[in-house]
Structure 1
């Protein structure tokens, strides 16, 4: 039974990072398109898989799992021996990945989502920008990236010298900043810029950005 990914088709947010893990791990999957505008994620059938009515969801040999970061960890663990090794096997090395992943969720994600909401989401919906909120969000994000600059001065990626889930999780929203003319990821500091440019040039991301989420079977 082939793995199924239930999500929208755009390359960002939770569905995007799951699709990236599938690509990096070279996992064959069927993409089941969920029409968010039509509220397909709120149907009884979908709610039976995810009671919160959100994407993404995967079904792997009858096992159903929701929440994008949980899905990414599951895939990296189950398919550890194929594709890119996104989680190290060493105890200390793994702890450093989890540390960086916690920082991404608790600090970076909170900061970047506020900027995206003002600089991109509102613009796309024709709503006025709250400049005060945007300035505050940018200041907060800038402060987080100041710390990233220090971390990335010591090693190539956030948890060491290898690309891991801690780096991959940043694809959920940060690439959208450029759509709003916010180039903070490449202008904040040389180490952040070097790291971010490397992430943006990874083949799996380049393909996903160009094509959107597409299954490899079905």
Structure 2
């Protein structure tokens, strides 16, 4: 059975999963969830994804949600094809898990909220809070100073091979300039790393919208 991904073509979290699907050369069908019709809050959707969020994955009746969990599932199920995104060596895997934790705690927390504050709030008819935005960006810049030191010593966040931990950053890393934040571009090692990631065929294929591949 072809994997079915329920999400949105332009959703950041759906893009995170689709990038990994392309890296692992896994065909998938994208089922668009109509937010305007509140399909994500329908009883049928909530039965699969109780938080009413996208995406979720259906693998022949096996349902899994949360984009990073889906990515790990795909990377391990298809470990022997495409790019090896989770190391098998214990110590290398430990560094991967460390990097994945760094992304969630030291990047995503600040980047997603900063983007939401000035990009998505106006689209929702809400008023951005400039003080909140400035505080988030200031902290993110401090975190990216640490990133720059790490990336001065190695190609990727957990070593010299790309992993899920690197790819997890993509959707919001490319959204920061839309929010008026150039914190990644002005740090040379971070900028080099991000250019490498955004140049990958997997991201180039889905950056302007996701399409089914099966």
TM exceeding 0.5: yes
Using the TM superposition, give the Cα deviation of residue 123 of structure 1 relative to its aligned residue in structure 2, in angstroms.
4.0
1-structure distance, mates of 2:51, 2:29: 22
Using the TM superposition, give the Cα deviation of residue 214 of structure 1 relative to its aligned residue in structure 2, in angstroms.
0.8
Partner of 1:22: 21
Partner of 2:133: 134
| Residue 173 of structure 2 is aligned to residue 191 of structure 1 | no
Deviation digits for residues 20-61 of structure 1 (CA, Å, limit 9, x no counterpart): 110110101111110122210111111111111111111112
Mark the CA change 1:185 to 1:5 in structure 2 (over 3 Å): closer, same or farther: same
TM-score (normalised: structure 2): 0.95
- Which runs of structure 2 are paired with 1:1-218 in the superposition (5 Å)? 1-10=1-10, 12-125=11-124, 127-187=126-186, 189-210=187-208, 212-217=209-214
Q: Which runs of 5+ in 2 are unaligned?
A: none
Deviation digits for residues 161-218 of structure 1 (CA, Å, limit 9, x no counterpart): 011000011023221112223221111x1111110111111111112113x111111x
SS of alignment partner, residue 30 of structure 2: strand
Deviation digits for residues 63-84 of structure 1 (CA, Å, limit 9, x no counterpart): 1111111100000000011111
1-structure distance, mates of 2:71, 2:151: 23
SS of alignment partner, residue 107 of structure 1: helix
What RMSD, in angstroms, separates the aligned Cα atoms of the two structures? 1.3
Q: Which runs of 5+ in 1 are unaligned?
A: none
1-structure distance, mates of 2:191, 2:75: 26
Contact persistence 1:120–1:177 (CA under 8 A):
no
SS of alignment partner, residue 131 of structure 2: helix
1-structure distance, mates of 2:98, 2:180: 30
- Counting matched residue pairs gives 214
Using the TM superposition, give the Cα deviation of residue 126 of structure 1 relative to its aligned residue in structure 2, in angstroms.
5.5
Using the TM superposition, give the Cα deviation of residue 125 of structure 1 relative to its aligned residue in structure 2, in angstroms.
4.2
2-structure distance, mates of 1:184, 1:202: 21
Instruction: List, as ranges, runs of 4+ consecutive aligned residues in structure 1 with deviation greater than 6 Å.
Output: none
2-structure distance, mates of 1:2, 1:115: 36
Contact persistence 2:114–2:179 (CA under 8 A):
no
TM-score (normalised: structure 1): 0.93
